[in-house]
Structure 1
Amino acid sequence: MMSKKRNIIALTIFLLVALATITANLWLPVSPAAIDANQRLLAPSGTHWFGTDDFGRDIFARVIVAARVSLAVGVIVAVVATVIGTLLGLVSGYFRKTDFILMRIVDGFLAFPALLLALALVAALGGSITNIVIALTIAFFPVMARVVRSAVLQIKNAQYIEAARTTGTNNVVIIFRYILPNVLSPIIVQSTFIFAKAILAEAALSFLGVGVNPSTPTWGNMLQESQIYITIAPWFSIFPGIAIVITVLSLNILGDGLRDAFDPHSVKKKRKRKPKQTAPAA
């Protein structure tokens, strides 16, 4: 029951964040780009809920608008990495002849920490949204490929698959009609985690100065701009940080919830791990 409530709360929070940023132009009282030199570094108040930054811009408005880039990058990376990783995992898991080559390529990417690999790629390609999406996709698709391959190996010799082979069904048809629908559960779960990781990675890249153009409001850029004011205007960095934590945490909770929903055995394993309470010795 608690896990269901937690999942509902996480989903509600994420939907509110997404809805707020999509409809921001309709309800935000001030422009996130409005500069007022007389309003620099004001503390949170009734006029400016999250305070103002070093240019007198409203931090609340900028946090809401900044979510657009972060969520857009997360969605695109999750979709593209899922498609590429799924195709590679299906081919690798089903065709043993190509498995060794494909998995060695995947292992080569997995040898590097995802953020470090993305950082190197963005530094080489340049800090644009397109290049960030490319870099993060390359960093995250190998995990999806591994997950899908593992799922395919578990069912490729099932009776209904063997029956399809004996009737002369084409391998491509077998993969997409019989295998893919049965490995969708881990794909959906893993894509949720990739979504969360991509948001966090984009913020990290922007914070390090190699991400989106500094003039574009993103959570990472706001953290990068605020670091020199951390002692005199802590709200400048606190609220973008909270936005990142809330969004990423809600997605991770949703991912855990989906995994438990698709795989009841994972719930049983969690229950078994809980230590049994024993009565104290007399």
Structure 2
Amino acid sequence: MRLITFDPFRTLGLPGVRYIKPELMHQHLDALRDADWLLFPGYWQLNTLHYALKKKIFPSPVSYHLGHDKVEMTRAFQAACPTHVPRTDILASTPENVRDVLHRWPLPFVAKQIRASEGLGVFLIESAEQFERYATDNAVLYVQEKLPIERDLRIVVVGRELVAAYWREGTDFHNNVARGGRVRHDLPIPETATDFVLTLTGYLNIDHAGFDVAMVNGQPMLLEFNRLFGHQGVPGLQQRVNDAIRRYLCGEPTPDSGAPTASRTA
């Protein structure tokens, strides 16, 4: 199988992969046309590779498009599985909308920047002054209810395979490992959450993502997903991801291993 990657660090350990610098892709059009898969292009490359060269892309174009910002992602979730999305308003950042949000939304609530990861750009709003400062710095108001949780789940899917599922628990508002949250391996993983994410990724054709999921009254609630997710906190996760990528690209059977980092519970 002929594989070309534009991100050598994401494909370490995959056999027979050729690396091409993204900015040099037009110098290698013949090689790109001959490849079976093109791996991890930059977002700016996607339209050329997918629409002009009509190549198979991994992660899938849907993973790129829906994962590009929280507005696109949330609107898709609200259409596909509305009962699994926290109450969310997405509005232009105008003085009128700021006043409207402060009138309708009880404090505290969550406000987010539409393009951020690792817990950056996520703010707990506890006063009108905090929200007004957020609105001044952002052209889009992304307002979401604060869920009654102490921890959340990271669920990693590659291809159609559950690669990892684990709890993250922070010491403050953020649970992200990159923001000081810790991975909990001692807590059972709700099968309702992993089954829900696997069903959703199959429906939407998202094939490489780390989903952040809260459990509220036994129901999974989607916070967001990251197309490019970190590997911190779970030993061997990079190798698991690479093995799952290989199986997916080569059409190999998916092992029925369940959640690999913790026990499961219904």
Query: TM over 0.5: same fold?
Result: no
- Per the normalisation by structure 2, the TM-score is 0.25
Question: Looking at both structures, which has the greater relative contact order when contacts are Cα pairs under 8 Å and sequence separation is at least 6?
Answer: 1
- Per the normalisation by structure 1, the TM-score is 0.24
Higher fraction of strand: 2
